[in-house]
Chains A and B, each alone.
Chain A
């Protein structure tokens, strides 16, 4: 099986890798680039644990082929905190509100929630719940996640 050379940008860094055309973007991030923050929960686009931004659009990286990333720009959980380590308000609020337990779904939810707040800085609870409907969490019961997103949104609005 011949592999394809893919050149792309991940969290602002130019990267390249060799991908079997059957490998998903998630496989490539995790296995070729060592970015294991994006998780594989289902591999079929149901759980959202692999959420990343592709040219700014929220997608499930398990439903994107690695070879499709050629020339695109990808953002993952690893790029969410500032380079100096300062957490994004969403990350901080998730810790403060204990909006995580096992943490497996957390990177995907944070990436998805950041995309929401950039599109809609003041979402209602319903809007948050619908936006995050594709991010499954088996630990928290979601309530603390919603509170953390609301609190982060309020802080971001205040800071703006």
Chain B
């Protein structure tokens, strides 16, 4: 295994594009090193991104959006109060990945590129409408996070392409997001079902919504029918019922050791309700805070 530590993403991409064997990019390493250890993936070329300037930075942009470098750890996200205030759902999703020790290293970009359908960091990004800067042999491009997962362990990134940063849009007024997952224990487990909701209010009425489900299909799902079920409502009981039904209808899970398809389908509805209420309350809280300022 050859170890590379390039100083730009373009150089990192060139190494990957020019390699003939197995390549891996190294950000937090909490998946790559486990695979290395298990012998399941021994890269011929390992490309460490952490020497690239800015790769560990969290930046608030002029428009109020956020840029999160590819090597920013979960712990660093949680230690950024402005980001936690704007996008609590994104931060709490990533915060559920692994232990405190894993949080010290694990990254959103890595969670995304590992390609697990159950990745806790991803539904929040999809619900937020986040994008990624992708650097490849053909130059730089922006991709919607929702377009990147392609199946278990697979992404839509082309050979030689690497994620340089993840971008969250400006939170704006009267918005809120949330993420929850179901696991059979309290910590250190992989989602049986995950759900993220991001919404915006006008007064008490939901005017925009994005609902993402994890671990109920080969990739994270952005469920338009769930959004339609709650847009135009004040998240009353009928809207919550419609939301749950839409989530269950969209869920296409497998049965495995973590849960049966029937159970996962049921839980998708339970979580969608619960998470929507949290996001709604956060949106109202944001409005109250805005009014006070």
Contacts and interface: CB of A to CB of B under 8 A. Distances in A.
Interface of A: 1, 4, 21-22, 24, 43-46, 48, 51, 54, 57-60, 62-65, 67-68, 112, 115-116, 130-135
A21 B38 contact: no
A131 B100 contact: yes
Grouping DSSP codes into helix (H, G, I), strand (E, B) and loop, the A interface class, with mixed when no group exceeds half, is mixed
Interface string B39-50: 000100010101
Contacts of B50: 68
Q: Which of A24, A44, A45, A135 has the most CB of B within 10 A?
A: A45
B168 to A, nearest CB: 23
A51 B102 CA distance: 10
Interface stretch (B12-20, B26-34, B112-120, B170-178): B26-34
B33 A134 contact: no
A49 B46 CA distance: 26
B46 A130 contact: no
B34 A63 contact: yes
Interface string B1-18: 111010000000000000
Interface residues of B, number: 29
B102 A43 contact: no
A51 B3 CA distance: 24
Nearest to B187: A133
B257 interface: no
B3 A63 contact: no
Contacts of A64: 29, 33, 105
Contact of A134 (B29, B42, B46, B100): B100
Contacts of B26: 65, 68
Contacts of B30: 45, 63
Given A45-B34, A68-B50, A21 B2 contact: yes
Interface in B58-105: 73, 75, 98-102, 104-105
Nearest to B75: A57
